[in-house]
C-alpha cells in the first residue's frame, strides 16, 4: 500500500477510532526498543498469533480418519488411515504436517477441536471481524489485542503486525499496534523519501484527522525502520527464505512468506524487545475447487515455518516463553462440493504450540452426523481460547478485555 493510500485508509477506513490513530506520535528507533528490555519482567511470555486467511479446512487438517462419516461425506478428498500422521486411534494430522506431528509427540502441540461461536457467519469478512474483535453479537470497533494494548499502556511497540495494513485485531479504543510489512516499503514514482517524511511530519494547518494520520504514519515508519534494523542485525549465517514473496489473496494474508515473517519475530524475541504480541499471516485457504493438493501445499508452508520457529524458540530462555496460536476464520462444510473442494463452513481447530504448552487433544470433537444445516456444531467457544491466552500468556484479566467472559481452556498452558 503506498503512502497516500495508507494515510487515507487510516483516516477513513473505520478500522480504528480517532483516539487510536493518535497513538504513537513519538518516533521509535531500535535503541529505544532495546532500552525497554531491562524493564521487561523476565517471566513474561510472548504471544505469536498466526492467521490463516480464507477458511482453512479443519477436517483435512486434523483428520477424523476412523469415522466412516468422514469418508462418506468427501470420498475424493478424504485421507485414508495409512496416509495421515496419527495422533491417536481416531484422528491424525494432514500428511503435510510432519513437523507439527513431531512437536505433538514431544508434547509441544495442543489441538483444540470444535472451536467456533454461536450463530456462525459464513462470510469471510464478517467472520474474520468476529474472530479479531472477539464480539460475535455485533460488529466491533476494537480488536481483542487492541483492548489488551489499551490496558497494557498503549505503547505500539508492545503489539506488532507483519501484515500489509493494521488489522482490526490490534486496534484499541485509545491506542493501536504497529503494522510493519516484512518487505521494505517502496516509494511510488515521483514520491521521494523526503515527501514521505513530510507526510509523516504533518503541518500546523492540518485538520485534526490529518494530524492524527500523520502521527500514526510517523510511528509506522519508525517501527518499520526498527524492524529492518532488527532483520539486518540478525545472524549473517541464517539462510534467507527461499522463493519470491507471494501476493496476498482477496481474503487476506501477508504478501511475504510466513517463514520470513516468523524469522523477524524470532529475531525480536531473541533480542528481548518489549513486544508482547506479534501477528503474522498466510492467505489462500479458500479452497472451493481442487482442494487436496492446494491445501497440502499451504499446510506444508505452515508446517515448515511454524515448526522451525518453535524449534528455534526452544534454544533461548525468552523463546521458551513464546506461545504460538494458529487459527482461521472458519472451517469448511463437511460434505465436499462438485468441484473437489469444500465451501464455507463453521467450527474448526485452533493449534497452540510452544515449550509452555501441554500437548494433546482438547475440546470435544464435533459430530459429523449431528450437523447444523450441513455444518459442524461448535463445542468450544473461541473466547475460551482467547481468555486462556490473555490470562496465561499476556498476564491480564480476560473479563476486562472480553466483556466479562468467564470460560477457559483447562490445563493447556
pLDDT tens, position by position, 289-326: 999 999 999 999 999 999 999 999 999 999 999 999 99
Give the pLDDT confidence of 228-263 residue by residue, as tens digits: 554 454 443 444 444 444 445 557 777 679 999 999
Q: CA 65, CA 71: separation in Å to the nearest integer?
A: 8
* 157: pLDDT strictly greater than 70: yes
More confident residue, 183 or 48: 48
Query: According to the model, what pLDDT value does residue 5 have?
Result: 37
Residue ranges of alpha helices (H) inside 134-205 are 144-152, 193-201
Query: According to the model, what pLDDT value does residue 242 have?
Result: 44
Q: How confident is the model at residue 27 (pLDDT cuts 50, 70, 90)?
A: very low
- Of the listed ranges 253-257, 283-287, 326-330, 350-354, the least confidently predicted one is 253-257
Query: According to the model, what pLDDT value does residue 161 have?
Result: 85
Question: b/e map of 99-123 (b: 16 or more CB within 10 Å)?
Answer: bbbbbbeeebbbbbbbbbbeebbee
* 66: pLDDT strictly greater than 50: yes
Q: Are 100 and 109 in contact (CB under 8 A)?
A: yes
Average pLDDT over residues 64-80: 98
* 152: pLDDT strictly greater than 60: yes
Q: Are 99 and 262 in contact (CB under 8 A)?
A: no
Query: According to the model, what pLDDT value does residue 193 have?
Result: 63
Is the pTM above the cut of 0.85?
Answer: no
Q: CA 302, CA 307: separation in Å to the nearest integer?
A: 8
Query: According to the model, what pLDDT value does residue 233 have?
Result: 47
Q: Strand, helix or coil at 82?
A: coil
Residue of 147, 158, 199, 212 lying closest to 32 (CA atoms):
158
Q: What is the DSSP letter of 341?
A: S
Q: CA 15, CA 164: separation in Å to the nearest integer?
A: 14
Specify which of 11-20, 223-232, 377-386 reaches the highest per-range mean pLDDT. 377-386
Q: How confident is the model at residue 26 (pLDDT cuts 50, 70, 90)?
A: very low
Q: How many helices (H) and strands (E) does the chain have?
A: 13, 12
- Of the listed ranges 7-16, 220-229, 311-320, the least confidently predicted one is 7-16
C-alpha cell at 83: 496416509
Query: According to the model, what pLDDT value does residue 187 have?
Result: 43
* 3: pLDDT strictly greater than 70: no
More confident residue, 402 or 30: 402
Amino acid at each position: 500500500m503506498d503512502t497516500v493510500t495508507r494515510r487515507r485508509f487510516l483516516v477513513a477506513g473505520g478500522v480504528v477510532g480517532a483516539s487510536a490513530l493518535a497513538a504513537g506520535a513519538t518516533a521509535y528507533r531500535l535503541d529505544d526498543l532495546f532500552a525497554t528490555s531491562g524493564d521487561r519482567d523476565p517471566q513474561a511470555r510472548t504471544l505469536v498469533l498466526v492467521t490463516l486467511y480464507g477458511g482453512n479446512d479443519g477436517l483435512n487438517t486434523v483428520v477424523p480418519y476412523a469415522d466412516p462419516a468422514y469418508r462418506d461425506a468427501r470420498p475424493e478428498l478424504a485421507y485414508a488411515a495409512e496416509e495421515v500422521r496419527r495422533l491417536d486411534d481416531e484422528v491424525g494430522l494432514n500428511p503435510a504436517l510432519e513437523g507439527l506431528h513431531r512437536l505433538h509427540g514431544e508434547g509441544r502441540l495442543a489441538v483444540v477441536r470444535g472451536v467456533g461461536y454461536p450463530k456462525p457467519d459464513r462470510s469471510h469478512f464478517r467472520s474474520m471481524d468476529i474472530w479479531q474483535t472477539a464480539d460475535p453479537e455485533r460488529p466491533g470497533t476494537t480488536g481483542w489485542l487492541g483492548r489488551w494494548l489499551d490496558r497494557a499502556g498503549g505503547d505500539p511497540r508492545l503489539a506488532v503486525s507483519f501484515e500489509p495494513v493494521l488489522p482490526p485485531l490490534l486496534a484499541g479504543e485509545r491506542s493501536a499496534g504497529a503494522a510493519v510489512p516484512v518487505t521494505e516499503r517502496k516509494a511510488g514514482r515521483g514520491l521521494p523519501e523526503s515527501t514521505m517524511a513530510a507526510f509523516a511530519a504533518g503541518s500546523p494547518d492540518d485538520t485534526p484527522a490529518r494530524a492524527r494520520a500523520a502521527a500514526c504514519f510517523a510511528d509506522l515508519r519508525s517501527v518499520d525502520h526498527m524492524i529492518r534494523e532488527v532483520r539486518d542485525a540478525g545472524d549473517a549465517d541464517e539462510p534467507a527464505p527461499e522463493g519470491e514473496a507471494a501476493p496476498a489473496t482477496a481474503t487476506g494474508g501477508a504478501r511475504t512468506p510466513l517463514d520470513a515473517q516468523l524469522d523477524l519475530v524470532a529475531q525480536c524475541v531473541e533480542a528481548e524487545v518489549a513486544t508482547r504480541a506479534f501477528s503474522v499471516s498466510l492467505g489462500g485457504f479458500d479452497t472451493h475447487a481442487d482442494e487436496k493438493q492446494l491445501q497440502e501445499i499451504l499446510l506444508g508452508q505452515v508446517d515448515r515455518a511454524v515448526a522451525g520457529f518453535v524449534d528455534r524458540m526452544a534454544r533461548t530462555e525468552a523463546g521458551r516463553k513464546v506461545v504460538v496460536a494458529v487459527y482461521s476464520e472458519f472451517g469448511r462444510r463437511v460434505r465436499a462440493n462438485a468441484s473437489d473442494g469444500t465451501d464455507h463452513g463453521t467450527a474448526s481447530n485452533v493449534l497452540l504450540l510452544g515449550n509452555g504448552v501441554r500437548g494433546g487433544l482438547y475440546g470435544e470433537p464435533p459430530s459429523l452426523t449431528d450437523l447444523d444445516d450441513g455444518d459442524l456444531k461448535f463445542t468450544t467457544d473461541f473466547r475460551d481460547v482467547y481468555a486462556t491466552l490473555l490470562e496465561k500468556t499476556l498476564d491480564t484479566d480476560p473479563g476486562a478485555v472480553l466483556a466479562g467472559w468467564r470460560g477457559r481452556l483447562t490445563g493447556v498452558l
